[in-house]
Amino acid sequence: MKPKFLLSRCISSNSRSKSPMAQTQTRTRTLTIAPDPPPPQDLDDTLCSNPDLYQQEEEEQSCPSFPCTPSFPLSGEERVERAWAHWAKLGRPKLIVAPMVDNSELPFRMLCRKYGAEGAYTPMLHSRIFTENEKYRNEEFTTCKEDRPLFVQFCTNDPNTLLEAAQRVEPYCDYVDINLGCPQRIAKRGYYGAFLMENLPLVKSLVQKLALNLHVPVSCKIRIFPNLEDTINYARMLEDAGCALIAVHGRTRDEKDGKKFRADWNAIKAVKNAVRIPVLANGNVRHMDDVQNCLDETGVDGVLSAESLLENPALFAGFRTAEWVADCEESNKNGILDQADLLVEYLKLCERYPVPWRMIRSHVHKMLKDFFRIHPHVREDLNAQSKLTLEFLYNMVDRLRALDVSVPLYLKDAHVAGGSVTGLVA
């Protein structure tokens, strides 16, 4: 029997010391993360189950679909062609799970993929901590062979650290993404994310460093500037620096509240028209009508959704929450799925792909938000648990069911129900 290695060990020990082709031949991978003992001080940071139980046979990792040579020196034209060839090879994914700290982790990505997502981002990873701290790597980045196409996102302000972090993950992903959009105070303090919009030469050096040295393409997730011309120049600079895909969140750095500020799809359309590489749109994608409208109005190559997926991971399969059925009630039929069903599916995925409890807790609150509104005592009971167990959570869903609560998801069109969706929940 072949020896089993943990993904994290493969990344730590193999990927940086050998040539890409040699790595391809020797790299091994399992689907779970290292069974480091959890830190006793914060129970929510411990893993939800024993990864050893779910280790699977190692597999050979195939070479990433991007040609296994860095993208310089190449002409602009060649880089654009290469960016499109890569995108085509990935199947031109249109429906993509946006990066979300503590929320777009492996089991959640896999749930969204089951329900129609064609690609997904990891949560933002801090590149310096990623290079220095094995425990952080093991807990914050896990993947499996079905978890593709995958964007691994880093935040940073240092090209060398970024490259070191990126080289650890490049065999396991389809893009290494730079977070240029985080508007939070923590990003201001750490000087990364949207705060790098003040220092475009630094941004350029980050992109160039990856484009010159990685074997997978580099993508960037940006916010828009208040001035359209600045946004367009920014996007063109990224393309010229070697970026192979841009995801545009159509809000400025100051427009932090996604519910308060509508994303500016016109600005996204302008970026799409200004660059020659694939562009993805982000913001105000809450159900499949938004997806279609966004694609039609902006001409982009795909969309990202974040907050709406947290509540409804089946969004890309055509399901929608009650909030989005009011204006078209006649065509809506009671769904065949509700959020508690999705939560149970998510918990099963967590058994298979263990993650820290804080991530699970977060998803439980988001997926059961409407159930908890009806029965707040169940939420109080959940909040009172300093240590969660999967058994407790499965029982909690059973209790809600016994209380006769149902918060169905809806399908707008009968043809969706008759298609792949019915197969999904069979």
**Exactly one of 10, 155, 182, 294 is catalytic; which is it?**
182
* Contact flag: residue 282 with ligand FMN (CB under 6 A): yes
Q: Is 155 a catalytic residue?
A: no
Contact between 330 and 309 under an 8 Å Cβ cutoff? The reply is no
CB of 6 or CB of 285, closer to ligand FMN: 285
Minimal CA–CA distance to 177: which of 236, 123, 110, 105?
123
Query: Among 95, 306, 360, 409, which residue interacts with ligand FMN (rule: CB under 6 A)?
Result: 306
DSSP 146-180: TS-SEEEEEE-S-HHHHHHHHHHHGGG-SEEEEEE
Cis peptide before 107 (omega within 30 of 0): no
Q: What angle do CA 235, 113, 373 make, to 5 degrees?
A: 95
Rounded least distance, CB 266 to ligand FMN, Å = 16
* Contact flag: residue 20 with ligand FMN (CB under 6 A): no
Cα 168 to Cα 280: distance, rounded to the nearest angstrom: 25
Query: Among 222, 285, 337, 340, which residue interacts with ligand FMN (rule: CB under 6 A)?
Result: 285
Rounded least distance, CB 426 to ligand FMN, Å = 29
* Contact flag: residue 305 with ligand FMN (CB under 6 A): yes
Cα 320 to Cα 211: distance, rounded to the nearest angstrom: 39
Residue 276, both tokens: 């020659």
The residues, ordered by sequence, that sit 6+ positions from 372 with a Cβ below 8 Å of its Cβ are: 365, 378, 379
Residue 282, both tokens: 């982000």
Cα 139 to Cα 181: distance, rounded to the nearest angstrom: 23
CB of 27 or CB of 249, closer to ligand FMN: 249
Minimal CA–CA distance to 289: which of 333, 324, 340?
324
Q: CB count, 10 Å around CB of 91?
A: 12
Build a one-symbol-per-residue string for 190-219: x at contacts with ligand FMN by CB under 6 A, - elsewhere: ------------------------------
Cα 246 to Cα 378: distance, rounded to the nearest angstrom: 42
Rounded least distance, CB 348 to ligand FMN, Å = 22
Cα 200 to Cα 238: distance, rounded to the nearest angstrom: 9
* Contact flag: residue 222 with ligand FMN (CB under 6 A): no
Residue 222, both tokens: 């940006």
Rounded least distance, CB 122 to ligand FMN, Å = 8
CA of 153: how far to CAs of 41, 103, 202, in Å? 28, 13, 17
Rounded least distance, CB 206 to ligand FMN, Å = 14
Q: Which residue is nearest to ligand FMN (CB)?
A: 124
Build a one-symbol-per-residue string for 345-384: x at contacts with ligand FMN by CB under 6 A, - elsewhere: ----------------------------------------
* Contact flag: residue 127 with ligand FMN (CB under 6 A): no
Cα 303 to Cα 285: distance, rounded to the nearest angstrom: 8
CB of 29 or CB of 363, closer to ligand FMN: 363
Build a one-symbol-per-residue string for 230-249: x at contacts with ligand FMN by CB under 6 A, - elsewhere: -------------------x
Query: Among 258, 276, 293, 413, which residue interacts with ligand FMN (rule: CB under 6 A)?
Result: 258
CB of 264 or CB of 338, closer to ligand FMN: 264
* Contact flag: residue 124 with ligand FMN (CB under 6 A): yes
Residue 295, both tokens: 């694609």
CB of 48 or CB of 304, closer to ligand FMN: 304
Binding site for ligand FMN (CB under 6 A): 98-101, 103, 123-124, 153, 179, 181-182, 221, 249, 258, 282-285, 305-308
Query: Catalytic residues, which ones?
Result: 182
